[in-house]
Structures are given as structure tokens and as C-alpha cells.
Amino acid sequence: MTASTDPDSSTQATGYACIQRYVKTLDSSPGVYRMLDADSRVLYVGKARNLKARVSNYTRPGHSGRIEKMIAATASMMFLTTRTETEALLLEQNLIKQLKPKYNVLLRDDKSFPNILVAKDHAFPQIKKHRGAKKEKGAYFGPFASAGAVNRTLNQLQKAFLLRNCSDSMFDSRTRPCLLYQIKRCSGPCVGLISDADYRESVKDAERFLSGRSTKVQEDLADQMMAASEAMEFERAAGLRDRIRALTQVQTSQGINPRGVAEADVIGLYMDGGQACVQVFFIRANQNWGNKDFYPRVGADVSPAEVMEAFLGQFYDNKEPPRQLILSDAIENADLMQQALTEKAGRKVEINVPQRGEKQELVAGALRNARESLARRMSESATQAKLLRGVAEAFDLDAPPNRIEVYDNSHIQGTNAVGGMIVAGPEGFMKNAYRKFNIRGDDLTPGDDFGMMKEVLTRRFTRLQKEDPDRDKGLWPDLLLIDGGAGQVSAVHEIMQAHGVEDIPMIGVAKGVDRDHGKEEFHRIGQRPFALKRNDPVLYFIQRLRDEAHRFAIGTHRAKRAKAVGATPLDEIPGVGAARKRALLAHFGSAKAVSRANLADLKAVEGISAGLAQKVYDFFHDKG
């Protein structure tokens, strides 16, 4: 891969003349090109089978209005040649995600999706939700479209197969069955209420069901139910009946369960008024594991083929593609995309645009959902735009804010303190921009809300000035909302002055009389506090923003507190991971007992080497 830039930086031509100058230096290699404006901001990233031929197209008139604007703004270009066009395709999509160019179709919501994991690092495997890298030993099933889809499925699988979902440490510490056993959601392996062999058989049944062999599982359960009934074991028969119902409930809630499509992503694209919605249905093991909608950034004159190709390239950049992609719209480089995804997956990936049959019905369903989702979003956007205009009017802003940042803190008497920042704009809550701040200040008095807010805002503005000093990346807020009254506003104002930031409006939202919803008071520097009418839509909007910030901060605090509750001194010892920590706790019963153990006893623990035993012993006995 080779790179090249401006052949003559002394020449300041722009537009067609600028591009023409570069064409003379190019050959027919495949590669990726970048178009930049006079401030070196990337306008567009594109790929080419033949760089010279592709870039030459921009020197001829007859383009759409969007492309004409892009050409006119082009002041320089950059090029990366690649060995193959497939490599160029992958590089193009990677650069688009990194650089977010103004004129590219851009997928804005690109988080990972959850899976169901049947963990295999324990004698009695645990079934649980998993998100992120697949590092744990076990069988993974997914992806599911959302955490809600996973939780619903797990809930029914617990009823059907009675597999545990507790942590290993909780499992090892049980002396009697927990509530899940009492309500028939677990078979009680922690206290020996089911044999190893029977539990393993339940695990196999769960894996068969998640792999699409649900009919066989239900037939086996039905046979067992009949046998129990004939033997007059009516309680056991009723339990098996409930398990069969639970499996049926999973299938019913999935809605679409195609017979002829074992593994595919069904992708429907609907465009209207310069906006687009892409709906993805995840079909795995002949079952529908949920759907998710995406709203890529597009222009009014972008073709469906361009949007679909950009979506595929960016969506599967960090996800494993299924065996089939069933699309509503054909893409221009289907063979190239298919080859790139096949290489990525290490197995064949097919791209289909069906015209009839079951696959076409699946696409029609995805398209219907995309159309309805986009209509709802456009309606919500119109309402949101009206609310933002109302915010500008209520708080005397120069223009409706595009980015509102709302801050809140959460702690219990100063412990496990965290700060939360949520962001809202013309399209509602921008959850990928939310941030949490673990409060670090050692010199803070426990419960010092002013000090916590100062630390959060100091870190926020320090980072902003480092990451976006020119304020051209859209990271700076147009309005700050602070949970608090005059004191909080004054503290934040000091921080902003210290960073030379005095042009961002800031509002403190205080609970007001009786700390009652609807009686909020709004505080601004140098002005008297005021209130909005109880039925003002802007007031409800501000309340929603504040409640969301509070929810986010509380959730972050609870997660931090839960992690702290499960922590032990063993976590601080180098070389003691989860498995060895579990072995030590199982052998000695508690971290305190480990700390008192002698070296010989530590060496006797299964999986603990002599060297590691010495490390553990030294950790607890060499404190001085």
C-alpha cells in the first residue's frame, strides 16, 4: 500500500482545476482517494478499481448538486494505492468510519450486538447475555438485535431448561437453593439438586434449541411428559408441560421463523425526503432473533445502491457477517462486497436481492418496518425541532441548540461517586455521545457536589480543547444544563472562565418549591431565577432531559457499586485471574482466609503453582 498527496502544494487551485492537476500524476492502480477542503478537512472518501479513471470523472461536468458542491470545495487530494480492489473497499469503509466525511453516506449508530453465551468454564455451565469480544470459553448464539430480545429469550430458556444464570462466586458460596429454584427457573445445581449428567443433558437441549433443532427438543420433552403422566407423576408432568409452553412462547414472540432461511441478515432500505432508514432482521437457526433500525446520514440525491453499499461496508466492518445477506436493493459492486465479506468471515457469504418466494416476503417485511420507522422518526424530528426552537426562545439563545449537554452526579455519602453526561439534539437523545466520569478527587470532601461537578466539567472542557480546538467537529455543546441552583451554576461558570470558554450558554435546573415536578427554577449567571408555566412543552422537555441524566448517573453509580461489592484483595495480585481467584475462594472459603493461609496450604490449591503461591503469600505478608 502506498500513499501520495499534493503534487504541487504551491498551487492553490480549487475545484475542477485542482482535481485535473492530480489526474496527471495517477496511474491505473486500485486504491482509495480523499478530497479535502482549504482547511484540510476531509470532504469525501472513495475507492476505485482504477484511480486515474475514477478521479478523471470528477473533471467532467454533469454531476448532481451534492457532488458539484463537493468538487467546488476541493482544494487538495490524498491517495492510497492498494494491491486489490477488495482491499480498497475495506480501507474506504474504515476511513469513512474514522474520518466521518461530510459528503459520504455515514452509518452513525454502530454498536456491537448482544449474544447468548453458554459458558463452558465450569462443571455446571451458566447461560447469560454477552456483549463484546468472544473471549470466554463456551458456545455463543447470536447476534440478537437488542438486550431486550436477549433478556426475553433468556427468561423463557430459564423456564424451559432450568439452567443457572448466577455468577460462579455466588454458585460456589450457596448452601441452600435461591429464589430462582423456588419459582422453577433453575434446577439447583449449586446444592446438588440435579446430577451432573442430567444438567449436562439440559445444557445440550438448550444448545440444540438455540441451534435451530427446536422440534426435536420439544418432541423429547413431550415424550417425557407423556411417560410421567402414565406413571402418575403428575407434578413432574406439569413441570415438563410448563417447559414446553416456555419454548413455544419463545417461538411465538419471534413472529417470523422462516423455514428456508437458516442464517441471514435481511436488510431493507427505505428513503424519503433526503432521509433513509435501514431495517435489519437477524435470522439465525431458522429463528428471528430481532430487528434493529439504522438511520445513515445521506443526501437528497444519493441513490439506494450507494446507501446500501455504504451501509454493508460500515456495518460489517467490526461484525461477523452471516452466510447470507438478503437485500431490498442491489448494490453496484456486489461481487466485490461478497468477496470482501467472504474473506472477512473465512467462509462463503452470499448476497441476494430476491424477487419472489419466502426471501422476498422477508425483504417486504423489512421494507415495511423501515418505512414505518422512518415516518415515526420524521414526525419525532419535527416535534424535536419545535421543542429546540422553544428552548432557544425560553432561554434567549441566538439559535436552536444542535447539541445540549446535561450533567448530573450520583453517590452515596460520597462513596463510588460518578458524574454522568447525556447529550440531546435535533434527533433526540444521542446515546453514543453519553459519557461517565469516575470521580477521582482525593481532596474532595465526601458528598461535595460542587467539587464533583467542577472535576467533571474540568475534565470535559480539557478534553474538548484537545480533541476539537477549532470547534469544527460538532463536539462542543450549544447549551449546558446543570442539575442544581445558583451555587452549581457559579461553580461551573468558574470552570468555564478558567478554560476561556464564555460563549456557551449555561442553565441550572433547580427543583424549586417542595422539590416538585413543574415548579423547577432556572438559574443563569447574572440574572434572576425564573420558572416556566406548568403546561409549557419546553418545561416537560427540560424535565425529560434532566430525568435522563439522573437515570444515566444513577445506573453508572449502581454498576460501580456492584463491582466494588464483588471486589476482593485477590483482584490486585498479578497473575490471579478469574479461574485462580475462584479456585482460591473455593478452597479457603473467603479472601480473608486466603490472606491468613501459610505457603504450604496455598501450594496445595489445585491450579496454583509454587511461584504463584509465593506471590499470593508475599502480597499479604510483605505489606511493611
- Tell me: the pLDDT tens digits for 161-198? 888 988 888 888 888 888 888 888 898 999 999 998 88
What whole-number percentage of the chain has pLDDT above 90? 32
What would the mean pLDDT of 225-247 be, rounded to a whole number? 74
Lookup: cell for 469 = 480546538
Helix orientation angle between 214-230 and 234-254, rounded to the nearest 10 degrees = 160
Lookup: cell for 430 = 444521542
CATH number of 569-621: 1.10.150.20
Instruction: Say whether pLDDT at 469 is over 60.
Output: yes
Classify 455 in phi/psi space as left (phi over 0), alpha (psi -120 to 50) or beta. Answer: alpha
Lookup: cell for 193 = 439438586
What whole-number percentage of the chain has pLDDT above 70? 89
- For position 389, what pLDDT does the model report? 94
What is the Cβ-side half-sphere exposure of residue 553, based on CA atoms within 13 angstroms? 27
Q: Which residues of 505-515 are buried (b: 16+ CB within 10 A; e: fewer)?
A: bbbbbbebeee
What would the mean pLDDT of 512-518 be, rounded to a whole number? 57
Classify 491 in phi/psi space as left (phi over 0), alpha (psi -120 to 50) or beta. Answer: alpha
| Same fold for the pair 263-375 and 404-563 | yes
- For position 174, what pLDDT does the model report? 84
Instruction: Say whether pLDDT at 53 is over 60.
Output: yes
- For position 586, what pLDDT does the model report? 78
366 and 442 in contact (C-beta within 8 Å)?
no
105 and 312 in contact (C-beta within 8 Å)?
no
Please name the residue that has the C-alpha cell 422440534: 215
Q: Which residues of 174-199 are buried (b: 16+ CB within 10 A; e: fewer)?
A: eeebbebbeeebbbbbbeeebeeeeb
Instruction: Say whether pLDDT at 504 is over 80.
Output: yes
293 and 369 in contact (C-beta within 8 Å)?
yes
Comparing 432-446, 525-539, 589-603, which segment has the lowest mean pLDDT? 432-446
Instruction: Say whether pLDDT at 442 is over 50.
Output: yes
CATH number of 263-375: 3.30.420.10
Query: pLDDT by residue (tens digit) across 401-426?
Result: 999 999 988 765 556 678 889 999 99
What would the mean pLDDT of 55-76 be, rounded to a whole number? 91
Instruction: Say whether pLDDT at 624 is over 50.
Output: no
Greater model confidence, 499 or 77? 77
CATH number of 404-563: 3.30.420.340
Instruction: Say whether pLDDT at 325 is over 90.
Output: yes
26 three-state secondary structure = coil
Contacts of 145 (CB under 8 A, 6+ apart): 113, 280, 281, 282, 289, 290, 291, 292
Q: What is the DSSP letter of 385?
A: H
Instruction: Please give the Cα distance from 308 to 322 (Å, whole number).
Output: 17
- For position 316, what pLDDT does the model report? 92
Confidence of residue 562 (pLDDT cuts 50, 70, 90): low
Greater model confidence, 377 or 329? 329
Query: pLDDT by residue (tens digit) across 365-375?
Result: 999 999 999 98
Q: Which CATH number among 2.60.40.1180, 2.40.50.100, 3.40.1440.10, 3.90.400.10 corresponds to the domain 2-99?
A: 3.40.1440.10
Instruction: Please give the Cα distance from 39 to 29 (Å, whole number).
Output: 28
Lookup: cell for 524 = 443563569
Q: Where are the domains of the chain?
A: 2-99, 115-254, 263-375, 404-563, 569-621
Comparing 70-79, 244-253, 310-319, 381-390, which segment has the lowest mean pLDDT? 244-253
28 and 83 in contact (C-beta within 8 Å)?
no
Q: Which of 563, 564, 605 is nearest to 615 (CA)?
A: 605
77 and 36 in contact (C-beta within 8 Å)?
yes
Lookup: cell for 362 = 422477508
Confidence of residue 512 (pLDDT cuts 50, 70, 90): low
Query: pLDDT by residue (tens digit) across 340-358?
Result: 999 988 999 999 999 999 9
Instruction: Please give the Cα distance from 461 to 496 (Å, whole number).
Output: 8
Amino acid 487 reads G
Instruction: Say whether pLDDT at 78 is over 90.
Output: yes
Greater model confidence, 545 or 258? 545
620 three-state secondary structure = helix
Lookup: cell for 268 = 431493507
What would the mean pLDDT of 457-482 be, rounded to a whole number? 88
Please name the residue that has the C-alpha cell 428456508: 260
Of the spans 59-63, 251-255, 401-405, 428-432, which averages the highest pLDDT?
401-405
Instruction: Please give the Cα distance from 339 to 349 (Å, whole number).
Output: 8
